[in-house]
């Protein structure tokens, strides 16, 4: 009887040492990196489905997931799922307008500059460089590398790492109302609140 659905969807993407890391940072920021990103503007500002929706990605020693998600009212789960996939297809199929790309890169660079004022973040950057064997000037050139990301780069990594056919979906909510919605995207498995698989004949 949950009144909302919590959705998380995504697929495995890149590791931290990938040459595609910088374009991936920019691409993700355009799609769901904050309140001015496409997912937020679409699902919250335009559709009113949710209070907030975002995307992120984890890149460590081994490839980690790119994921998107948020909480929405149960009755709009279907519409929200449609828009998630619309935005994934959009970033893959359409070139990002130059102005939108420039704004995203400015935001990333400004956020990085502010983070340098925090000793803990600066220490984290040093650890990251050491842990992954990154070049000595990695952080000195970070802003320049972000600024060098092109429209073509964004579309290339979106097509390479965001695959609608491989995306896995996890949803927590009223199974009786959202099972059919999720079934449009593949086979559905249902688990109870203790994490035990519910046999198909028991639901």
Q: Could you report the per-residue pLDDT of 177-200, keeping only the tens digit for each?
A: 999 999 999 999 999 989 999 998
Q: pTM for this one?
A: 0.94
What CA–CA distance (Å, rounded) separates 44 from 175? 23
Confidence band of 21 (pLDDT split at 50, 70, 90): very high
Beta bridge mates, 139: none
pLDDT, tens digit, 9 for 90 and up, residues 56-113: 999 999 999 999 999 999 999 999 999 999 999 999 999 999 999 999 999 999 999 9
Confidence band of 120 (pLDDT split at 50, 70, 90): very high
What CA–CA distance (Å, rounded) separates 40 from 165? 23
Predicted confidence (pLDDT) at residue 203 exceeds the cutoff of 90: no
pLDDT, tens digit, 9 for 90 and up, residues 144-158: 999 999 999 999 999
Beta bridge mates, 53: 70
Which ranges constitute the DSSP H helices of the chain? 21-32, 38-39, 77-93, 98-115, 119-131, 142-147, 151-161, 175-183
Predicted confidence (pLDDT) at residue 1 exceeds the cutoff of 90: no
* 177-194 CB burial, b ≥16 within 10 A, e <16: ebeebbeeeeebeeeeee
């Amino acid at each position: 009887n949950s009144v909302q659905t919590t959705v998380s969807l995504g697929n495995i993407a890149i590791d931290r040492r990938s040459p595609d890391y910088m374009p991936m940072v920019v691409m993700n920021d355009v799609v769901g990196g904050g309140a001015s990103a496409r997912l937020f503007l679409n699902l919250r500002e335009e559709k009113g489905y949710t209070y907030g929706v975002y995307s992120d990605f984890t890149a460590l020693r081994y490839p980690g997931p790119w994921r998107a998600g948020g909480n929405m009212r149960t009755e709009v789960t279907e519409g929200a799922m449609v828009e998630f996939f619309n935005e994934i297809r959009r970033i893959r199929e359409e070139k990002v307008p130059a102005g939108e790309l420039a704004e995203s890169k400015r935001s990333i660079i400004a956020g990085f500059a502010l983070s340098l004022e925090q000793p803990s973040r600066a220490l984290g950057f040093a650890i990251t460089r050491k842990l992954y064997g990154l070049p000595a000037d990695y952080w000195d050139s970070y802003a320049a590398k972000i600024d060098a990301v092109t429209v073509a780069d964004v579309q290339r990594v979106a097509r390479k790492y965001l695959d609608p056919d491989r995306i896995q979906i996890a949803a927590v909510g009223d199974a009786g109302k959202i099972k059919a919605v999720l079934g449009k995207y593949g086979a559905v498995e249902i688990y109870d609140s203790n994490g035990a698989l519910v046999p198909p004949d028991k639901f």
